[in-house]
Amino acid sequence: MNKSRLLRIKNSRKLESAKRMWYRFLKSKLSILGLVMALVSISTALLASLITPHPEDVTKVTHFERKLLPPNLEYPFGTDDFGRDIFSRTIFGFQYSLMMAGVVLVLVVPIGVVLGLIAATRKGLIETVIMRIADIFIAVPALVLALAICSVLTPSVFNAMMAVSLMWWPWYARLTYNVASSLKNEYFVQAAELIGASSSHIMFSEILPNCLGSILTKVTLDVGWVILIGSSLSFVGLGAQPPTPDLGTMVAGGGQYMPDYWWISIFPAIAIAFIIMGFNLLGDGVRDMFTE
């Protein structure tokens, strides 16, 4: 048996297991719904400037001749106190929410995962220091500490992202640490240690691939949670500032016009729930994929 044949067998096995995972994902209709909702959110965010009827309304423009209009054919979600089209602003709000989730997770996942791996493979002082520091960040609800950090910095989209990132890495460190600690006693890891594999090889080539399922599930679910925290920050007024078309800011901005002009708050609020629900359902599907 030559090498290329071996490789082909290996690849076909990989394809086979990928097919099986996809099958497990498709078994639940809710996962498919989640995938569709997540894809709709992402594609509307990406194509926002193309599909919105009034892309100019995302900035601080005023059209007083059409302010506070209820939902109608031209303005499906109505207009706000500045006469801006809420539908267009909501679509752009998807952009901000998903950007927030993207930036935070891209920053946080590698840092948290690497720290968790280090803590799990190097027992002793390093482990204690990393995991106890992680505990400190988890000792209060994430929203509270993120709010405190945002307030000390100047409130803005960027600072909100930094504050949430600072709060979020411990969860990945913890998750990876737990999975990796149990993997450490498996025979394949001990075998690698016996042959004298380097600690980075053990961490990244032996242990990490087996943690990916849990990490990926958490990443998918966390898109929703980060968006939730982000919109809560801006809802309170310590995140994105107006006129940024952030969904949380828009919900808060409509508060003073309740109940007569309810559409200003309600449509962005429904949009937040839509994104979070999409990624929650998708996350459940991803979990099914990795559970045999």
Matching residue, tokens 């609800």:
141
Residue number with CB closer to another protein (152 or 191):
152
Min separation Cβ 66 and another protein, Å:
23
Instruction: Using alpha carbons, select from 188, 149, 256, 209 the residue that is nearest to residue 14.
Output: 209
Closest to another protein by CB, 121 or 165 = 165
Shortest Cβ 292–another protein spacing (Å): 17
CB-based contacts of 133, cutoff 8 Å, min separation 6? 170
C-alpha to C-alpha distance for 94 and 269, rounded to whole angstroms: 11
- CB of 220 closer than 8 Å to CB of 161: no
Neighbouring-strand partners of residue 85: 79
| Residue whose CB is less far from another protein, 68 or 277 | 277
Q: Are 78 and 139 in contact (CB under 8 A)?
A: no
Euclidean distance between CA atoms 269 and 247, whole angstroms? 7
Residue closer to another protein by CB (options 159, 176) is 159
**Interface ranges with another protein (CB under 8 A):** 30, 132-133, 135-137, 139-145, 147-153, 224, 228, 231-232, 235-238, 251, 255, 258-259, 262, 265-266, 269-270, 272-273, 276-277, 280-281
Start-to-end C-alpha separation, the chain:
31
Contact 201, 192 (CB under 8 A): yes
Place of tokens 């996809």: 22
Which C-beta is closer to another protein: that of 83 or that of 278?
278
- Dihedral angle over CA of 171, 176, 179, 181, nearest 10: -110
Residues 6+ apart with CB under 8 A from 212: none
Kindly state the smallest distance separating residue 63's Cβ from another protein, in Å: 25
Q: How far is the CB of 148 from another protein (least distance, A)?
A: 5
* Minimum CB distance to another protein, residue 257 (Å): 11
Residue with Cβ nearer another protein (221 or 289): 221
- Select 69 or 147, whichever has its Cβ closest to another protein: 147
Least Å distance between CB 279 and another protein?
Answer: 9
- Residues 6 or more apart whose Cβ sits within 8 Å of residue 94: 41, 44, 45, 48, 247, 271, 275
Residue 280 Cβ vs another protein, minimum distance, rounded to whole Å: 5
